[in-house]
Amino acid sequence: MANMVKQANLEIEKSKTIADKRLEGYRLLRQNVVLATTRLDNFERELGIVTRNFESNPSITNELRRIFSGIEELKGALTIDVTNLKV
């Protein structure tokens, strides 16, 4: 009986360790997503300045529109709630 209790306690500790590691992983992932979003916003702002400098050149303007479209797609990917991801 004592051996079963000891084994159960070991399993509980393993579960706690796994849960703690998962929580730390989610925290780090969320922190990196926030950092990436901030950097992406800064990049978009700087790209807006470049765009205004090249408004008279239609070919550059078209390429910059494609870049802005890609930025929007990245932002959409970064808004996914990581707690809903299934491994």
Sign of CA dihedral 13, 15, 21, 26: negative
Between CA 45 and CA 3 the distance in angstroms is: 63
Q: Name the H helices within 1-87.
A: 2-53, 58-78
pLDDT computed for residue 42 by the predictor? 92
pTM: 0.66
**Cα-based distances in Å from 13 to 3, 23, 54, 55:** 15, 15, 61, 62
Q: Is residue 85 part of a domain?
A: no
pLDDT value at residue 14 = 94
pLDDT in tens, 55-86: 888 888 888 888 999 988 888 888 877 667 66
What is the Cα 20 distance to its own chain's centre? 20
8-67 residue pLDDT tens: 999 999 999 999 999 998 899 889 988 998 999 999 999 888 888 888 888 888 888 889
What total of structural domains would you count in the chain? 1
Domain limits for position 45: 2-80
19 inside domain: yes
Looking at residue 56, what DSSP letter applies?
T
